Amino acid sequence: MSRIAGSSPARAANKSEQQQQQQQQQQQEFPLGLDKDASEHSISSIMSCVSISPKHAESSLRVMESYLHKQQLTDVTLIAGNKRVPAHRLVLSAGSEYFAAMFTSSLRESAQNEIELMDVDGDALWALVLYCYTGCIELQEDSVETLLATACLLQLNPVIKACCQFLVKQLHPSNCLGIRMFADTQGCSELFEHAHAYTTKHFMEVTKNQEFLLLSANEVAKLLESEDLNVPSEETIFYALVTWLEHDPENRSKDASTLLGLVKLPLLSPAFIADNIESNEMFKDQRMAQELVMEALKYHLLPERRPLLQTGRTKPRKATVGTLLAVGGMDANKGATSIDAFSLRDNAWRSLAAMSSRRLQFGAVIVDKKLIVAGGRDGLKTLNTVECFDFSTLAWSTLPPMNVHRHGLGVAVLGGPLYAVGGHDGWSFLDAVERWDPATRQWSSICPMSIQRSTVGVAVLNDKLYAVGGRDISSCLNTVECYDPHTNKWTPCAPMSKRRGGVGVGVVNGCLYALGGHDAPASNPNASRFDCVERYDPKTDTWTMVAPMSVPRDAVGVCVLGDRLMAIGGYDGQQYLTLVEAYDPHLNEWESVAPLKAGRAGPCVVVKNLTNTV
């Protein structure tokens, strides 16, 4: 008879206890319910796994979004005014620091099924909740500020950044003050800085809009305190202050003297002070205003004491309108090499430097705060050389040459690179265009223009490069085309009313201006030269005649100083001109300013921000 080994109840109990302990230990080591071998195999598999669905997170969020729209599995309802927005706590917490803090803390809202958000726009709330699911949001001009305010509350930083970038692109003289104050209220420092910089840059235009007239005295003071106001003189600031005061004299007269103290009266002429301040009823009976007037007059009457009379009011503001530079050009000596600087504040020209050698019909621009001159001719041959002038050292250096020799070219800076457009290579007229990248210091050819153009006007408007008029082998041109760097294509625009060779061009307030020029060979003394000026509006693709210059001329240098279009020098068929005129687009009027030291035609004119002492 065989006997099967058995266990006593006590031993069986001990064994059972040991088995349970082993199972518990195994469960702790392999919590997924796998045995040791299976778990080791699983770990090996995990270590060698690959992504099965790279868009898993994206597709999961799409499913969650569908649940949102169907109101399935939602576990919280947000209430803003009359709008109820169901949502999932997990998604909201993942997308918003505000909701993460609310739902993961001991706040009472963490346990509530319905949460009311005070002073929040319902439509903005829904858009931002939807953003948490999709990562997308629609920005519109009429609702972006409400959306930004709500995004600031909910701490949705990507939306805040997108809204601020959108508003920066919307900045305009009519709205920049409102955007500036809104940014300050919301604590959006970067947007505030952009809006403030835009306001100071376009100050003269800003003061002509309703927002400026509705500012509080405190806000006006903040503006007038700025040393960066882009103005030609303190007269402009004084006139702006008077305009604001006269909008509501009864309530604003009490602030007149305080605000007048922010105008640099010592920099105004004694005649201006006598005619506009001493006799002004707004300041006449205010003691502080009269003390400011006396301070200014003393500064003028006692020049020997000026070192002792220095205050913040005697220090000129930064010349953010810049200094106009007239570089080279044709003169009575067959080629000027001088670089002359014009101060709109002083209404005077002075010699700044000289080019390293003579160039005629060349191009010049400012790149990285340095003057770049390209191409032209030296009297014997057409050049492809490029030189750079450093204002800090007053020294010239050589840059890589262009691929093509050119004179009569147009140059401009668009988005960083420098473009050299058209011209003549000494043998033929050119349609070729090349671009210089400051980072790589290399020239590369891009899409040519549709036709050949020499003595062409070139300017940048709305991130596009415009080639205006000029001449080809047979005649002067009235055609215009623009280049889009994103598509590398030239597109025709509406033609000018006149054919213009040797035309000058400039951009003011979103419009392109074509000045002067001729409609016959420039070598012909009887060539028809123009005093007429046309304005191109890119929104309507149309040209309109505006006020003419005082003298017909071609080869006129053109640039923008402040918000005025400057016409410098030129040739009238008999002489090289010293005449300099400034065009006010708001008044549609030309005004003569200080003439050049010597007549010159075809000067390259640029604007450079120089210190007041240069």
**Three-state DSSP class for 200?**
helix
Q: Give dist(CA 238, CA 574) in Å, integer.
A: 42
Which among 607, 576, 604 has a CA at the least distance from the CA of 338? 604
DSSP string, 123-160: HHHHHHHHHHHHS-----TTTHHHHHHHHHHHT-HHHH
Strand order in the sheet with 604-608: 348-354, 336-343, 323-329, 604-608
More confident of the two residues 50 and 311: 311
Position 542 scores a pLDDT of 98
pLDDT in tens, 169-186: 999 999 999 999 999 999
Position 52 scores a pLDDT of 73
Percent of the chain as helix, strand, coil, to the nearest 5: 35, 25, 40
Q: Give dist(CA 370, CA 418) in Å, integer.
A: 12
Asked whether the beta carbons of 519 and 467 are under 8 A apart, the reply is no
Q: Give dist(CA 481, CA 431) in Å, integer.
A: 12
pLDDT at 65 over 90: no
More confident of the two residues 528 and 84: 84
Q: Give dist(CA 84, CA 113) in Å, integer.
A: 12
Position 609 scores a pLDDT of 64
Judge if 218-308 and 323-608 fold alike in CATH terms: no
Q: Give dist(CA 117, CA 90) in Å, integer.
A: 18
Position 68 scores a pLDDT of 81
Position 44 scores a pLDDT of 47
pLDDT in tens, 481-493: 999 999 999 999 9
Asked whether the beta carbons of 430 and 411 are under 8 A apart, the reply is no
**Three-state DSSP class for 573?**
coil
Model pTM greater than 0.85? no
Position 406 scores a pLDDT of 98
Report how far Cα 561 is from the mean position of its chain's Cα atoms.
16
Position 396 scores a pLDDT of 96
Beta bridge partners of 458: 467
Helix locations, 302-377, DSSP H: none
The average pLDDT across 431-457 equals 97
Q: pLDDT band for position 21 (50/70/90)? A: low
* CATH of span 57-170: 3.30.710.10
pLDDT at 580 over 90: yes
> Distance from first CA to last CA of the chain, Å, rounded?
123
The average pLDDT across 539-553 equals 97
Helix locations, 408-554, DSSP H: none
Position 285 scores a pLDDT of 83
**Three-state DSSP class for 186?**
helix
Structure tokens at 464: 């596009």
Strand order in the sheet with 511-515: 504-508, 511-515, 533-537, 542-546
Strand order in the sheet with 370-374: 363-367, 370-374, 386-390, 395-399
Q: CA angle 521-526-527, nearest 5°?
A: 35
Q: Give dist(CA 264, CA 292) in Å, integer.
A: 10
More confident of the two residues 15 and 519: 519
Asked whether the beta carbons of 571 and 553 are under 8 A apart, the reply is yes
Least confident range from 56-70, 125-139, 243-257: namely 56-70
Q: Give dist(CA 130, CA 122) in Å, integer.
A: 12
Residue whose structure tokens are 């004299």: 249
Position 282 scores a pLDDT of 87
pLDDT in tens, 206-258: 999 999 999 999 999 999 999 888 887 889 999 999 999 999 999 999 999 99
The average pLDDT across 286-299 equals 91
More confident of the two residues 108 and 206: 206
> Domain segments of the chain: what residues?
57-170, 218-308, 323-608
Average pLDDT in the chain:
87
Residue 529 DSSP one-character state: B
Question: What is the assigned CATH class of domain 218-308?
Answer: mainly alpha
Position 344 scores a pLDDT of 75
pLDDT at 610 over 70: no
Q: In whole angstroms, how far apart are CA 63 and each of 78, 94, 99, 137?
A: 21, 16, 21, 18
Q: pLDDT band for position 17 (50/70/90)? A: low
**Three-state DSSP class for 278?**
helix
For the CA atoms of 45, 47, 52, 55, the dihedral, rounded to the nearest 10 degrees, stands at 150
**Three-state DSSP class for 474?**
coil
Q: pLDDT band for position 13 (50/70/90)? A: very low
The average pLDDT across 314-338 equals 82
Question: What is the assigned CATH class of domain 323-608?
Answer: mainly beta
pLDDT in tens, 356-379: 989 999 999 999 889 999 999 998
Structure tokens at 169: 């692109």
pLDDT at 48 over 80: no
Q: What are phi and psi of 286, to 5 degrees?
A: -100, 120
Q: Give dist(CA 145, CA 482) in Å, integer.
A: 34
Structure tokens at 47: 């270590």
Q: Give dist(CA 266, CA 103) in Å, integer.
A: 61
Which among 160, 164, 163, 196 has a CA at the least distance from the CA of 178? 196
Identity of the amino acid at 89: R
Q: pLDDT band for position 302 (50/70/90)? A: confident
Q: Give dist(CA 76, CA 92) in Å, integer.
A: 10
pLDDT in tens, 395-411: 999 999 999 999 999 99
More confident of the two residues 59 and 421: 421
